[in-house]
Amino acid sequence: MTSFDVIRFVRSIKKVKMGHIGTLDPLAEGVLVIALGQGTKLIEYMMDHTKRYVAEITLGKESTTYDAEGELRHISDIKPSKEEVVAVIDEFTGALTQVPPVFSALKINGKPAYKRARAGESITMKKRNVTIHEHTLESYHYPTIRVSVTCSTGTYIRSLAHDIGEHLGTGGYLSYLQRTAIDTFTMEHSCSLEQLKERGIEPFLLPLIRGIGDMPRKTITAQEYKKLQHGAFVQGTLPKNVAICAAIFNNDLVGIMEPAPVKNHIKFKKHIHVA
């Protein structure tokens, strides 16, 4: 099931505008945050959230897609020690340069890379800078390494699995992946598709304010809110050194504010209608 398949499923239960934050590969399972209605206005502010994963890497083989769905090729029967595995995992912690998989949804001249790859085109993927904030070995029983990873947006765990296998000299591919959290959205706060089908969406909705994470906040008055929602500017400034700020009224998130063209005035960048 793809991330869009999940959206299609949820839309069959409740027909409302929606979108998801952070794509999950079809092989993967776990947390997929879905924004509904006015919540879709927050998606662009949630894409940079830190993500957490539990992953299993199988050594000895490489995959054309870097995961279990690709064509596998035997590389080596070398069995690294636990100490060697830990040392390589430590190498892949911190600021890294990573090459995304050829079989990915990243677009090259407007066309997804995986479509070009399937058509037999020769593709060179551009390197990208990512950050692995935390990378811990959970268990190792050859040929399987199980790790927990906390990383920046844009990190491909499939590429991480491939690179670890390459550095160990054994080859390796991603054989299991579970996303356990996107920022403060965790498995504990999630529901299954079966639960959605049985109980509907309403029991599992979270307040919009959860979507802004640690974005700076500014409480506005009723008079200011009345002006702002009609497109007017109000006197004031944002918290120091920030470009945008969440507008809070009656403990609800009602908009995203930015500086107005008039000095020492602010305006709505986005108005979020509260039911």
- Residues tagged active-site: 25
Work out whether the CA dihedral 159, 164, 169, 174 comes out positive or negative: negative
- Angstrom distance (rounded) from CA 224 to CA 234: 6
Q: Which amino acid makes up residue 148?
A: S
Beta strands in 143-223 (DSSP E): 144-151, 172-182, 185-186, 217-219
Residue for token digits 């029983």? 141
Burial class (CB in 10 A: 0-12, 13-18, 19+), 225: buried
Q: Residue 38 is encoded by which pair of tokens?
A: 């006015």
Closest CA to 271 of 17, 42, 46: 42
The residues with which 145 forms a beta bridge, in sequence order, are: 57, 140
- Angstrom distance (rounded) from CA 31 to CA 265: 39
